């Protein structure tokens, strides 16, 4: 396995740990009670719609990045976007969007206009 595979495994395990910690904090019995009261049809529909929204978000970011010298594939674009979203979740003032734009600018992959577009439209 390559280095990229290890990074993904660690990222998934980290995400799983966050979910477990949230369940422990909320109380496992409380979480089970809520899940029992939830309609499976609406839960599946909600998960599907949310997943589709990430497809369109990643597509939009790829359009912004289409003028860069590097060819961005779907998984790298998604990882960049989801990392920014995670930072936005835990830190104030849209720090994740700023981090994405700054990352792209410091890597020298985008010009100032593309960086600002990413910053304002993500």
CA 64 to chain centre: 16
With cut-offs at 50, 70 and 90, classify the pLDDT of residue 103.
confident
Statement: residue 13 has pLDDT above 70? yes
Q: Examine the domain organization and report whether 16 and 66 are in the same domain.
A: no
Q: Examine the domain organization and report whether 21 and 45 are in the same domain.
A: no
Based on the structure, what is the number of domains in the chain? 2
Statement: residue 56 has pLDDT above 70? yes
Statement: residue 49 has pLDDT above 90? yes
Domain that includes residue 47, residue range: 40-121
pLDDT of 119 reads: 67
In terms of average pLDDT, the best of 63-72, 86-95, 110-119 is 86-95
Q: Examine the domain organization and report whether 54 and 93 are in the same domain.
A: yes
Whether 122 and 65 have beta carbons less than 8 Å apart is answered as no
Q: Examine the domain organization and report whether 25 and 45 are in the same domain.
A: no
In terms of average pLDDT, the best of 11-15, 100-104, 105-109 is 11-15
Q: Examine the domain organization and report whether 1 and 59 are in the same domain.
A: no
Statement: residue 120 has pLDDT above 80? no
Statement: residue 2 has pLDDT above 90? no
Q: Is 90 helix (H, G, I), strand (E, B) or coil?
A: helix
Percent of the chain at pLDDT above 70?
Answer: 91
According to DSSP, residue 111 is labeled: -
């Amino acid at each position: 396995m390559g280095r990229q595979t290890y990074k993904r495994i660690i990222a998934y395990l980290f995400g799983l740990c966050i979910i477990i910690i949230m369940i422990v904090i909320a109380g496992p019995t409380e979480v089970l009670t809520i899940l029992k009261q939830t309609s499976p049809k609406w839960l599946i529909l909600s998960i599907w719609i949310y997943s589709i929204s990430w497809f369109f978000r990643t597509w939009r970011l790829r359009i912004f990045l289409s003028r860069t010298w590097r060819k961005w594939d779907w998984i790298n674009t998604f990882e960049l976007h989801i990392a920014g979203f995670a930072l936005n979740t835990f830190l104030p003032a849209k720090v994740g969007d700023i981090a994405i734009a700054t990352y792209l600018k410091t890597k020298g992959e985008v010009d100032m206009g593309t960086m600002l577009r990413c910053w304002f439209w993500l």
